[in-house]
Amino acid sequence: MLTNNKDSQKLTLKLIQKTNNELVKKEFGAITLISEDKTLYLYMACENCTVDCPCKCMRKLKGILSRFIATNKYNINIDIPSFMEYYQPKHMKAFRVIVETILFSTHKMVSRKEKQSTDDVIYNLVYSAVPEFDEIFTESEIKMEFVNFARDLQDLPPNEGISTKIAELIEAKAKTIEGVKIKIYNKAEIEKMGMGLLLAVNAGSEVEPRVVVLEYNGDTSKPKTALVGKGITFDSGGYNLKPGNFMKGMKFDMSGAAIMSSTVMALAKAKAKANVMSVAMLTDNRIGGHATLTESVIKSYNGKTVQIDNTDAEGRLVLADGITYALRDGKADRVIESSTLTGAIVVALGKWHTGVFTKSEELWTELEAAAGTQPELVWRMPMIWEHLDRMKNTPIADLTNAEPMREAGSATAAAFLNVFAEGKPYMHLDIAGTADNGARGKAVMLRSLFEMLK
C-alpha cells in the first residue's frame, strides 16, 4: 500500500551520501537498518558524482527500490527530501520513479496457489506540501492502475486467458471509466467484415476470436491515434510447431493487446487531452484439423493476398487486419502498434530495449522523448525498401509472411506491417524482449505511450 503524508510509521528509509557511522554499509545501493535511529539508511555515493553519472540513472533507482521491496516486511516512511537532494535537478523524475516503482512492486500478482499472501506493507511518502509532487502522485496512481491491470491479463494462465475471457475482462474494466466507447466483434462479425488473416490464425482453435475496440476523445483538435495490439493468447506455432522449450512463455504473446487497451483506459481515467482508440486482436494459434496449412494463400481485410509460409509468423497476420480496421473503420490518422513479434529482436537488443520501427520522424521524436521520462529504453531500428522486397518473394500472392533467408527478421516483419498502414504515419514496437521477465508481465511501453499521448 502506498500513501503520502498519512499515518507515520515506526521506521524511515533515508538516502545518505556521507556518514561517519561505522555501522552503515558503505556500498552503493546498500541498505542498513540502525534500530536506535529507527532508520533504514540507503547509501548512495560515488567519487566525482555528477548529474549524468550512471549512479544517478533512474533505472538504478528503480532496481534498488524493487529489490528492497521484494524482501521488506516493515511498514516504513520514505524520506523524500533526502532523495530529492541527491537527484537534483532531476528530482521530479526521481519522485515519479519512486511512486511508480512502489505501486508496481507492491501489486498483488495473479496467483492460483492454495494459500494466498496476506502481506500488505505500507509505504508512506513523507515530504513538504509541493503541488507538483501531488500532481505526479495522482497521475502515477492512475497510470499504474492500468499498468497493473495489463500485467494481470498477461499473467493469466493460458487455459483461463482465452480470447473471449480477455475481451470480457477488458470490457468490464472499460465500463468503469467515463468517456470510453466499447465495441467487441465476435467471429460471425469478423467473418462478415472479411478479416481473413485473423481468421486464418484462429482456424485451428475451438475458441472464437475477438476484436476489442476502445475509443476515447478528450480533445477533438488532435489527430486520432490508433493503438493496435497483438493478442495471441497462446502461440503453439501452428503447423510450423514450436519445439517444447519454445512453448514456455507463449501466454505472454497477447501482451500488446493488453498494453494498448490499458493505455486508452488510463488516458481516459486521467481525462487526458488525447484522441485515441485501441484495437486488440485476440485469438490463440493452435494446431488441429481445420488449422491453416503452410503455403496457404489468404486474403487480408484490406484486399492484399498473403502466402503463409510460416504459421508461426502469425502475429503480423492478425496485426495487418487490425491496422486496416484502425484506418478504414476507425478513421485513424496515425497508427502505433505493439507486439511480441520476433525472436530476432531479442537477439539484437536483448531484454533491455524495445525495438522501434517507423519512417515517421514525428512519431519517433515523440516516443523517444516520452520514454526518456519513464524511464523505458527504446532503440530505433532500420526500415528500408530491401526489407519489403524480401516480403514480396512469392509468385502466387502479394506478400509472404515469412522472410526466407532468416535475415533482419524483425525489420522484414515491420516492413510487412508497414504495407497495411496505407501511407499513414505508422510505428511498430517489438516488445518480444521486454514484455515480460520470463515469469511475470511488465506492461512495457504503457507508461511511455501514456506520456506521449496525454
Q: Out of 316, 334, 442, 447, which one is annotated catalytic?
A: 316
For 195, phi then psi, to 5°, come to -80, 75
* In a shared domain, residues 188 and 103: no
Q: What is the structure's pLDDT at 115?
A: 87
Of 260, 236, 264, nearest in space to 248 by CA: 236
Q: What is the structure's pLDDT at 6?
A: 86
Is 19 contained in some domain?
yes
Q: Is 341 exposed, middle or buried (0-12, 13-18, 19+ CB in 10 A)?
A: buried
d(C-alpha 205, C-alpha 333), whole Å: 34
* In a shared domain, residues 250 and 394: yes
Q: Which amino acid is at 109?
A: M
* In a shared domain, residues 177 and 104: no
* In a shared domain, residues 262 and 379: yes
User: Packing angle between helix 163-174 and helix 255-269, nearest 10 degrees?
Assistant: 10
* In a shared domain, residues 245 and 317: yes
Is 136 contained in some domain?
no
* In a shared domain, residues 200 and 92: no
Q: What is the structure's pLDDT at 20?
A: 85
Q: Out of 90, 165, 242, 380, which one is annotated catalytic?
A: 242
Q: What is the structure's pLDDT at 46?
A: 72
Q: Give the residue from 99, 126, 153 where a domain finishes.
A: 126
Q: Which residues pair with 308 in a beta bridge?
A: 296
Q: Which three cell numbers stand for residue 214?
A: 476502445
CATH number at residue 370: 3.40.630.10
Domain that holds residue 24: 2-111+120-126
d(C-alpha 104, C-alpha 450), whole Å: 16
Distances (CA, A) of 229 to 21, 51, 72, 260, 326: 53, 37, 36, 6, 11
Q: What 3-state DSSP class applies to 374?
A: coil
Q: Which three cell numbers stand for residue 229?
A: 495490439
Is 134 contained in some domain?
no
Does residue 151 have an active-site annotation?
no
Q: Order of strands across the sheet with 378-380?
A: 181-185, 210-217, 275-285, 225-235, 334-339, 426-430, 354-358, 378-380
* In a shared domain, residues 101 and 170: no
Q: What is the structure's pLDDT at 47?
A: 64
Q: Give the residue from 75, 101, 126 where a domain finishes.
A: 126
Does residue 113 have an active-site annotation?
no
Q: Give the residue from 73, 98, 126 where a domain finishes.
A: 126
Q: Which residues of 248-274 are buried (b: 16+ CB within 10 A; e: fewer)?
A: eebbbbbbbbbbbbbbbbbbbbbebeb
Number of domains in the chain: 2
d(C-alpha 317, C-alpha 136), whole Å: 39
* In a shared domain, residues 280 and 411: yes
Q: What is the structure's pLDDT at 233?
A: 98
Is 385 contained in some domain?
yes
* In a shared domain, residues 240 and 346: yes
Name the maximum alpha-carbon separation found in the chain. 78
Q: What is the structure's pLDDT at 54?
A: 74
CATH number at residue 69: 3.40.220
Is 67 contained in some domain?
yes
Is 133 contained in some domain?
no
Q: Which amino acid is at 178?
A: E
The position carrying cell 484502425 is 326
What separation, in Å, do the N-terminal and C-terminal C-alpha atoms of the chain show?
26
Q: What is the structure's pLDDT at 19?
A: 87
Three-class HEC string of 80-124: HHHHHHHCCCCHHHHHHHHHHHHHHHCCCCCCCCCCCCCCCCCEE
Which residues lie below 8 Å from residue 388, measured CB to CB, with a gap of 6+?
A: 412, 415, 416, 418, 419
Give the distance, in angstroms, between the CA of residue 297 and the centroid of all CA atoms in the same chain.
Answer: 32
* In a shared domain, residues 285 and 379: yes
Q: Which three cell numbers stand for residue 294?
A: 503452410
pLDDT along the chain (454 residues), means of 10: 88 93 91 95 79 80 96 95 93 95 96 85 92 94 98 98 98 98 98 98 98 97 98 97 94 98 98 98 96 98 98 98 98 98 97 98 98 95 97 96 92 98 98 97 98 97
Residue 383 parent element (H or E): none
Q: What is the structure's pLDDT at 96?
A: 96
* In a shared domain, residues 68 and 190: no
Is 137 contained in some domain?
no
What pairing do the DSSP bridges indicate for beta strands 210-217 and 76-79? unpaired
* In a shared domain, residues 66 and 209: no
Is 131 contained in some domain?
no
